[in-house]
Amino acid sequence: MRYFLFVIFFSFFFNFGYSQTYRIALLKYSGGGDWYANPTSLPNLIKFCNENLGTNINPEPASVEPGSPDIFNYPFIHLTGHGNIVFSDYEVKNLRNYLIAGGFLHVDDNYGLDEYIRRELKKVFPENELIELPFTHPIYHQKYDFPNGLPKIHEHDNSPPQGFGIIYQGRLVVFYSYETDLGDGWEDEEVHNDSYEIRLKALKMGANLINYVFEN
C-alpha cells in the first residue's frame, strides 16, 4: 500500500510544474471546532502566490475530510480553527499515509486549537515529536526572508510566534504556526482591519510555505 501511494505521489510531483493548474485544500475535521474559519484566507493566499510566485493554483480551494481518498489529490492541506479536533482511527491512518507518501499539512492555530491539535498529531505520528524549527530552517528563507522566524500577526497572550514541525525520515511533513495567526493576516482587509504591512508579512510567509512544499 505504501509503495502504491509513493508511486502516485512520485508521478504527481515528477510531472509538477508551475504552468499546471492544481488545487490546495482546507481540512474538514470533526470534533466541534470551526474548520471553516477564515473563509477568505486561502483564496487570498492563492491569488498572492499566483501573482508573485508564478504558480497556477486553482483560485477556489477544495475542502477535504482527513479520511477521504481525495486527500491524495492535494499536495498542500491547510488546517485552522479555534476549538476541538478529533481524528478517527481511520482518519489517522489515512492522514499518515498521505503525509508519508509526499503530502504536506500546514496547521495554523487560530487561537484555542493548540491542545487539541497536539493531541491529534501525536496519534498520526506517535514516534515523532513536534519540534520547534530553528530560524535557519529553509521554510523561512524561500522567496521571502524571515530571519527571525514567523511574523507576529495578531496578539493574544503576549507570547512570541513559534513554528513547529514534524519531520519524517528527513522530510518536513507538518508545519504548525502558533501564536501568529497567519490565516487572519491572509483574510480580506476589512475582516480584521489589519494594516497593509501586517497583511503583506502574513501573505509572504504563506507564500514561503507554498514555495517550500512545491520545491522540496
Which fold would CATH assign to domain 2-215? Rossmann fold (3.40.50)
pLDDT band at 19 (very low <50, low <70, confident <90, very high): low
Q: Read off the pTM.
A: 0.91
pLDDT at 5 over 80: no
How far is the C-alpha of 1 from the C-alpha of 13, rounded, in Å? 19
Transcribe 157-172 into DSSP letters: SS---EEEEEEETTEE
* pLDDT for the residue 6: 42
pLDDT at 70 over 90: yes
How far is the C-alpha of 76 from the C-alpha of 50, rounded, in Å? 15
What are the pLDDT digits (tens) for 40-59? 999 999 999 999 999 999 99
Pairing of strands 131-132, 162-168: antiparallel
Residue 64 is classified by DSSP as: E
Q: Where are the domains of the chain?
A: 2-215
Q: Could you tell me which residues are beta bridge partners of residue 168?
A: 171
Sorted by sequence, the CB contacts under 8 Å of residue 171 that are 6+ apart come out as 216
pLDDT band at 20 (very low <50, low <70, confident <90, very high): low
Place of cell 492535494: 74
* 25 phi, psi to nearest 5 deg: -140, 155
Closest CA to 180 of 210, 207, 202: 202
What are the pLDDT digits (tens) for 21-31? 789 999 999 99
